[in-house]
């Protein structure tokens, strides 16, 4: 058996980030930027009004009330209106360029119009810069707007667009093929024959992949036949950016996936017995000229979940160009003891964590364990990592990997 950390670094060191491609901004949410983007246009590009109101000279307003003559109206999109001279104002709408001579805007709500003369009356001092958006206030020319490795979130998409661009260079969202293997797997909507079971792993993996922002290619089911498995996996590595297969990687009589991955990856393949439970058998081959990673995960659904979370998801995030590939890891206090026996392995236990009134993470519930007990882990939102030994007592802390949202526990419960 090899330690978890060694297997984890082997997996990550095998992965090459995908070749960048140009993507439309509207399709780039969640992608990782593959270029630095430096501002060549200031935002705002010109001084403009932050309010609907009147542009004027602050100097004119120093002894209120001030009467000003309205000499023009200017709207967003208009070229700057004629100059504002002493005693004058320009009616201005939000976003319109500030006329030359004006240095402040008084809101429409704060103005009184004298109906007899048509003049406006300003009843307070308006300071220079009031209600004016200054050029370059948000973005100055030369600012670094997006750094390679940044994840494109909605504000960043808008920032890139503010430079007059409609696309950017990103690392592609990996297309990940998902294959189940085993003669025992029956199709949905048909009655089970003797010894047959349903395929839980494909929906499980599909969901985990989608939740992590990857595209899924359904590769169906392969029977326990070496040649068929090899052909299917080889074809998949040519059309997908990564391939995940479940089952057939242990030491059983028909565990052909292991042999197929070793054959396809050659010197760039490794089958491992990792010192974790569940998820001990694991295979990775890097296949073909595009260095496509091909993962062989254990067949038991909970083992598949654990291998995916600890090895495959970080690898896929590296493929997609992410800087942080692992899920966040914290310490959490046990509400109840967590017993285990010593077996040389790191135990990976599905748990439910919450945040208590003191903002401490607590492990409220430990899921029923068993690598075949998929329903038992459905409510879990974290994986507790219990080192080899006799377990942990209530009140002790253990490492947890957060998988999902955390409930906040009320103060007095």
Chain residues binding Mg ion by CB under 5 A are: 182, 247-248, 299
142/252 with CB nearer ligand AMP: 252
For Mg ion, give the closer residue by CB, 204 or 392.
204
For ligand AMP, give the closer residue by CB, 197 or 339. Answer: 197
Distance, CA of 252 to CA of 255 (rounded, Å):
5
Selection from ligand AMP, Mg ion, none that 199 binds (CB < 5 to 8 A by kind) is: ligand AMP
Q: How far is the CB of 216 from ligand AMP (least distance, A)?
A: 15
Shortest Cβ distance from residue 179 to ligand AMP (Å)? 9
In the complex, what is the shortest distance from the CB of residue 316 to Mg ion, in angstroms, rounded to a whole number? 23
Q: Which residues touch 296 (CB under 8 Å, ≥6 apart)?
A: 245, 246, 248, 249, 257, 258, 261, 271, 281, 282, 283, 284, 285
Tell me which of Mg ion, ligand AMP, none is bound by residue 292, counting a contact when its beta carbon lies within the kind-specific cut-off of 5 to 8 angstroms.
none
The residues that touch ligand AMP, with contacts defined as CB under 6 A, are 180, 182, 184-185, 197, 199-201, 246-248, 250, 252, 298-301
**With respect to ligand AMP, which residue has the nearer C-beta, 177 or 321?**
177
In the bound state with ligand AMP, the residue whose beta carbon lies nearer, of 182 and 285, is 182
Between 258 and 362, CB nearer to Mg ion: 258
Which of Mg ion, ligand AMP, none is residue 180 near (CB under 5 to 8 Å by kind)? ligand AMP
Write down the least CB distance from residue 349 to Mg ion, Å: 25
CB pairs under 8 A, 24+ apart, for 184-190?
185/221
Q: Would you call 325 helix, strand, or coil by DSSP?
A: coil
Q: Which of 339, 338, 327, 233 is nearest to 286 (CA)?
A: 233
Least CB distance from residue 234 to Mg ion, whole Å? 19
β-partners of residue 384 are 349, 400
C-beta of 306: minimal distance to ligand AMP in Å? 13
Give the list of residues 6+ apart from residue 10 with CB closer than 8 angstroms, or none: 270, 272, 284
CB of 367 to ligand AMP, least distance (A): 18
Could you tell which of ligand AMP, Mg ion, none binds residue 296, using a CB distance below 5 to 8 A set by kind? none
| Residue 201 interacting entry, from ligand AMP, Mg ion, none, C-beta within 5 to 8 Å by type | ligand AMP
User: 71 in helix, strand or coil?
Assistant: strand
Nearest one of 314, 305, 262, 303 to 284, comparing CA atoms: 262
Rg, C-alpha atoms of the chain: 31
First to last CA, the chain: 43
**Nearest CB to ligand AMP, comparing residues 272 and 361:** 272
Task: Measure the CA dihedral 378/383/384/389, to 10°.
Answer: 100
Q: Which residues contact 80 (CB under 8 A, 6 or more apart)?
A: 46, 74, 97, 98, 99, 100
Q: Which does 339 bind (CB under 5 to 8 A by kind): ligand AMP, Mg ion, none?
A: none
HSE, CB side, 13 Å, CA atoms: give it for residue 187.
Answer: 2
307 binds, among ligand AMP, Mg ion, none (CB under 5 to 8 A by kind): none
Unique residue bearing structure tokens 């595009």: 290
Torsion angles phi and psi, residue 221, rounded to 5: -120, 135
Closest contact distance (angstroms) between CB of 281 and Mg ion is 11
CA angle 201, 204, 209 (to 5 degrees): 120
What is the nearest approach in angstroms of ligand AMP to the Cβ of residue 278?
A: 10
Q: Report CA-CA distances (Å) from 207 to 28, 201, 238, 346.
A: 21, 10, 23, 26
Question: 272 or 366: whose CB is closer to Mg ion?
Answer: 272
Looking at beta carbons only, is 14 or 229 nearer to ligand AMP?
A: 229
C-alpha dihedral over 34, 40, 42, 43, to 10 degrees? -30
Q: Pick from Mg ion, ligand AMP, none: which does 381 bind, CB < 5 to 8 A by kind?
A: none
């Amino acid at each position: 058996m090899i330690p978890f950390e060694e297997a984890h670094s082997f997996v990550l060191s095998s992965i090459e980030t995908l070749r960048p491609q140009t993507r439309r901004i509207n399709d780039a949410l969640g992608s990782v930027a593959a270029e630095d983007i430096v501002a060549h246009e200031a935002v705002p590009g010109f001084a403009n009004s932050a309010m609907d109101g009147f542009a004027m000279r602050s100097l004119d307003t120093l002894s209120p009330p001030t009467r000003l003559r309205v000499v023009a109206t200017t709207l967003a999109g208009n070229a700057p209106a004629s100059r504002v001279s002493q005693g004058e104002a320009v009616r201005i709408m939000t976003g319109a360029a500030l006329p030359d001579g004006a240095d402040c805007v008084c809101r429409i709500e704060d103005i009184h119009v004298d109906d007899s003369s048509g003049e406006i009356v300003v009843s307070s001092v308006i300071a220079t810069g009031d209600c004016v958006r200054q050029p370059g206030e948000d973005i100055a020319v030369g600012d670094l707007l997006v750094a390679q490795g940044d994840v494109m979130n909605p504000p960043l998409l808008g920032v890139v667009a503010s430079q007059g661009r409609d696309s950017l260079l990103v690392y592609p969202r990996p297309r990940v093929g998902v294959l189940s293997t085993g003669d025992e797997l029956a199709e949905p909507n048909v009655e089970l024959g003797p010894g047959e079971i349903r395929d839980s792993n494909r929906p499980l993996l599909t969901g985990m992949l989608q939740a992590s922002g990857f595209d899924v290619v359904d590769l169906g089911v392969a029977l326990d036949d070496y040649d068929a498995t090899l052909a299917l996996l080889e074809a998949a590595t040519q059309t997908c950016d990564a391939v995940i297969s479940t089952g057939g990687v242990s030491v059983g009589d028909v565990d052909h996936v292991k042999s197929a991955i070793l054959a396809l990856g050659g010197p760039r393949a490794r089958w491992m017995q990792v010192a974790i439970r569940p998820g001990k058998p694991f295979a990775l081959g890097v296949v073909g000229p595009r260095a496509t990673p091909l993962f062989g995960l254990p067949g038991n659904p909970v083992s598949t979940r654990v291998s995916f979370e600890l090895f495959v998801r970080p690898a896929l995030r590296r493929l997609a160009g992410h800087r942080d590939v692992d899920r966040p890891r914290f310490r959490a206090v046990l509400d109840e003891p967590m017993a285990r026996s010593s077996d040389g392995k790191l135990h990976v236990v599905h748990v439910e964590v919450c945040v208590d009134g003191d903002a401490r993470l607590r492990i409220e519930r430990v899921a029923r364990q068993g690598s075949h007990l998929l329903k038992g882990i459905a409510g879990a939102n974290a994986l507790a990592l219990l080192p080899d030994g006799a377990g942990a007592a209530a009140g002790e802390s253990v490492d947890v990997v957060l998988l999902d949202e955390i409930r906040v526990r009320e103060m007095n419960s």
